[in-house]
Amino acid sequence: MLKEITEATQKHYDMACEKYGNKHILGVFPYGSINYGLYIKGKSDVDTKAIYIPDFEDLMFNKNINREVHLTNRLGETEHCEVKDIRDMIYNYNKANINFLETLFTKFKIINPIYETLWNKYFIQYKNDIVLGRCYEMCKAAAGQALHTASQIDGWNGKKISNVLRLYYTINRYIDTKDFNNSIQFDEDLKNKLIQIKTSSSHDMALNFNQNEYDNAISFCKIIISMNKENFYNFYHFDTDYINFCQRLTNLVMQTGAKKIVSFLLDGEKENEEID
């Protein structure tokens, strides 16, 4: 399983580097159920986000590289690699989109070695603070994503039902632990349960599916959506002052980190021009 994930991620990384140039790609990061241990060998695809580093021309003309590239895996199925400008990545980190936050925690990433030190210093070192500073937004966005997915279900759809439950468990676990990495590290029983639901072709085949639990998950997500920030913090015992501190700190750190990474690329281009 690990080999399949690694090979697919490497394929996405190689494609991005070939298309945009090695110096422009900070790294490639799988997102989605793969990060929760729900990858199914021979059945699941690998979707990724690639972070693009803009050069002088991109900055001068305010060009923002945000494209989705489609690749075909060994099963002939389509996989997606979203190429995102680092400026847009920071925007999505601030919006607390859970698929973007996962890129800070995934075990399956491939980082361009020339940017690894800067990435670790300004992003990975502060990943827990990045999430905590936006915990309300993250939980609300994940709940909204779950409800949107649920609204698309007509009859039985094991994959979508599993995704709804995955998001529900993630929100619940984060509220309990205040630790995002712990929230997406499902134990074996929970992983097996969600995989069994995901791969079931009908309600009758989904032996681990509990309708009451699913209904409770929908109700819970609706409650999260309806809560304002103050009520959310108070009801779930979050430290508001520390959250505000984390948000201010990580806004500064991420902006500084992005500038350092872009400057590293531009300095390299300048050196090449001087050599020429």
Where does the chain hold its CATH 3.30.460.10 domain(s)?
2-122
pLDDT of residue 77: 61
What does the chain come to in residues? 276
Q: What are 79's strand-pairing partners?
A: 71
Tokens standing for residue 202: 């009908």
- 88 CB contacts (<8 Å, ≥6 apart)? 64, 66
pLDDT, mean of each 10-residue run, the chain (276 residues) = 87 93 96 92 87 93 80 65 94 95 96 97 98 98 98 94 97 97 95 94 87 97 98 97 98 97 84 42
User: Strand, helix or coil at 118?
Assistant: helix
What would the pLDDT profile of 13-43 be if each residue is shown by its tens digit?
Answer: 999 999 999 999 999 999 999 999 999 887 7
Distance, CA of 49 to CA of 44 (rounded, Å): 17
Predicted TM-score (pTM) of this structure? 0.91
Residue 197: name the closest of 187, 185, 189, 205 by CA.
205
Q: Which CATH class is domain 2-122?
A: alpha beta
> Across the strands, what pairs with 49?
29, 82
CA distance linking residue 257 with residue 157, whole number of Å: 42
According to the model, what pLDDT value does residue 141 have?
A: 97
Helix residue ranges, H only, 61-125: 86-95, 98-101, 116-122
Rounded distance between C-alpha atoms, residue 244 and residue 132, angstroms: 9
Residue 49, φ and ψ in degrees, nearest 5: -120, 130
Q: Which pLDDT belongs to residue 189?
A: 95
